[in-house]
Amino acid sequence: MTDAQQYPWLRNYPEGVPAEINPDIYESLVDFQEKMCEEYATAPAFSNLGSNMSYRDFGAKVTALAAYLQSLPGVEQGDRVALMMPNLFQYPVALFAVLKAGLIVVNVNPLYTSRELGGVLKDSEAKVLIIIENFAKTFERIQKETSVEHVITTQVGDLLPTPKRMLVNFMVKRVKKMVPEFHLEHAVMFTEALAKGASLEYKKPKIDRYDIALLQYTGGTTGVSKGAMLTHRNVLANLQQTGIWISSDFKKASEVVMTALPLYHIFSLTAMCSFMQWGARMVLITNPRDMKGLVKECAKQHFTVICGVNTLFNGLLNTPGFDQVDFSMLKLTVGGGTQVQKTVAERWKNVTGGAISEAYGLTEASPGVAANPLNTPWNGSVGFPFPSTIVTIRGEGFKDL
């Protein structure tokens, strides 16, 4: 039996998309990040709150924070570090610093209650927590019930250029009063951790592509959140699978990605890593609920890519001014998380000129499983399985139907 007979979806693959990918191009996510920062050193990697961070600067900060994490007493390779923050420069820096230190990332929704946060921290046995000050009070309530030994706190503007950093942090804390009073034992500021780490020697750990990179918690439908163990190779494979599918006309160091979905979610996290393959600039949206602010940012950025969910697309379409945005650069809209409604998909096409390419995934699959070919009109389908992905439907006794 040929592959096309056994896996009939291969006959419908877009031109140039292979049946298989090579998941072993990079040794680890750390190797991947280092090579991207070297290749695109001078290009902007991220934008946030009106400022840019280059790939070179990003790489330097990752190494500094990794060295600091390695210096923490009682923290050993394979230990867990929880990240609890919205989309800020600090998130990708912390993500890759944890991995570079040979540790495991535990992503936490910043809007968790103390009970939900406590459940994840206890289950993951996280030894370190990197948390934005706005939600430090949530952790304070349950600090003594967890195994967390080291806390790094950050403010919204910590990695912005100096005058802006001070202004943003003052506005958030003193004017908007968005940081409830808190007291955390043994807490160190993110900026202090970076400064200390920059003066320390980073010791490169031996990281295997089969080592766990993420404990990614997923609620599903069966009770409390469970941590899906995703290896470096799992995520690297998905970068190749999704990258090959979406990138037919991408240009290096030219793509601009609106990153409104929270990076603590596996869809947005993997998308961010995937777009790094082209040296794209990710526009980090810290508060995607502020639809007016998001539309203003869309108008400024001349973005080429946006990933979203049905509620985000619907919210944008219903916000005044969105239909006035210049969409002439937009190459790709990816929808996931839940089904995109037909009416939303049709309105998006009318307003932006481009179709939403609907995809399907799940946390345990790192996460991409299937997608429609680019610019396919809405059809109510999740499309075709990605390269190196086999999808079957099983019945009673796990028999193939």
Q: 336-363: per-residue pLDDT in tens?
A: 988 999 999 999 999 999 999 999 999 9
pLDDT of residue 198: 98
Which pLDDT score is estimated for 251? Answer: 96
pLDDT, residue 316, reads 98
Instruction: Choose which CATH entry (3.40.50.10470, 3.40.50.980, 1.20.1250.20, 3.40.50.12780) describes domain 55-207.
Output: 3.40.50.980
Percent of the chain with pLDDT over 90: 93
pLDDT of residue 191: 98
What pLDDT band is residue 3 in, cutting at 50, 70 and 90? confident
Confidence of residue 175 (pLDDT cuts 50, 70, 90): very high
Q: What whole-number distance in Å separates Cα of residue 85 and Cα of residue 155?
A: 10
* Mean of pLDDT values over 196-214: 97
Question: What is the model's pLDDT at position 375?
Answer: 86
Q: What is the CA radius of gyration of the chain?
A: 21
Which pLDDT band holds residue 41 (cuts at 50, 70, 90)? very high
pLDDT tens string 250-261: 999 999 999 999
The count of other CB atoms within 10 Å of the CB of residue 354 is 16
pLDDT of 387 reads: 97
Q: Is 308 helix (H, G, I), strand (E, B) or coil?
A: strand
- Measured CA to CA, the distance from residue 247 to residue 261 in angstroms comes to 20
Amino acid 232: pLDDT? 98
The predicted pLDDT at position 186 comes to 84
Backbone angles phi, psi at 158, to 5 degrees: -55, -35
Query: pLDDT grade, residue 4 (50/70/90)?
Result: low
Omega before 367 within 30 of 0, i.e. cis: yes
Instruction: Supply the mean pLDDT for the chain.
Output: 95
> Is the per-residue pLDDT at 2 higher than 70?
no
Locus of tokens 């990079």: 26
Delimit the domains of the chain by residue range: 3-25+232-398, 55-207
Cα distance between residue 44 and residue 30, in whole Å: 19
- Cα–Cα distance measured from residue 324 to residue 82, given in angstroms and rounded to the nearest whole number: 40
CATH topology agreement for domains 3-25+232-398 and 55-207: yes
* CA separation for the pair 66, 204 (Å, rounded): 10
Report which residue type is found at 335.
G
Question: Average pLDDT for residues 1-12, to the nearest whole number?
Answer: 81
Structure tokens at 294: 């998001």
What is the rounded average pLDDT of the residues 143-166?
A: 97
User: Which has the closest alpha carbon to 276: 116, 37, 60, 113?
Assistant: 37
Strands (E) across 60-133 are located at 80-84, 104-107, 128-132
- Residue whose token pair is 């409104």: 260
Asked if residues 253 and 301 have their Cβ atoms less than 8 Å apart, the reply is no
pLDDT per residue as tens digits for the range 302-344: 999 999 999 999 999 999 999 999 999 999 999 998 899 999 9
Which residues have C-beta within 8 Å of that of residue 277, sequence separation ≥ 6? 36, 239, 243, 247
- Residue 1: is its pLDDT beyond 60? no
Residue 224 buriedness (CB in 10 A; 0-12 / 13-18 / 19+): exposed
CB hemisphere CA count around 202 (13 angstroms): 20
- Of 399, 396, 265, 387, which Cα lies nearest the Cα of 12? 387
pLDDT at 220 over 70: no
- Per-residue pLDDT at 263 exceeds 80: yes
Residues 6+ apart with CB under 8 A from 294: 260, 285, 288, 316, 319
DSSP-derived letter for residue 26 is: S
- Mean per-residue pLDDT for 267-283? 97
Q: In which order are the strands placed within the sheet that holds 368-371?
A: 51-54, 44-48, 281-284, 256-259, 305-308, 332-335, 356-361, 368-371, 384-385
Q: Which residues contact 170 (CB under 8 A, 6 or more apart)?
A: none
> What is this structure's pTM?
0.96
* pLDDT tens per residue, range 222-239: 677 899 999 999 999 999
pLDDT at 219 over 80: no
Q: Check residue 84 and give its pLDDT.
A: 98
Report the pLDDT averaged over residues 68-75.
98
The C-alpha atoms of residue 181 and residue 137 are separated, in whole angstroms, by 7
Q: Once rounded to an integer, what is the mean pLDDT over residues 52-66?
A: 98
Q: Is the pLDDT of residue 125 over 60?
A: yes
Task: Please tell me the predicted confidence (pLDDT) of residue 221.
Answer: 62
Fold adopted by 3-25+232-398: Rossmann fold (3.40.50)
pLDDT of residue 224: 79
